[in-house]
Amino acid sequence: MILKLVGCFDGGIVLGCAIKGDTDHYEHVCTESMRGTQDVALAHAFPVGNGILTCPTRALAEERADVSRKDFGGKAAKACLRLIEIRSTLGVEA
């Protein structure tokens, strides 16, 4: 499935949020979501903007997601666009 999607797009943005709870499940979700995002980017020379929030509290997640404050989703989109530009400049094929 990923291979088909990678071939159809110039890049992708991963958005999500993990908020720490009372178990260690949070640590696993954070680690594996970051690893999966990195694996796709590296294996396919596919520009990915990583907008996965990993936060200890909901308040911090809301601050990071708010477009008038930290706007991490917007920053992930800008990073992806820059990576697409760099890949194009270098002539790298996906």
Catalytic residues: 25
Closest CA to 15 of 71, 81, 68, 69: 71
What's the CA dihedral at 49, 55, 60, 64 to 10 degrees? 0
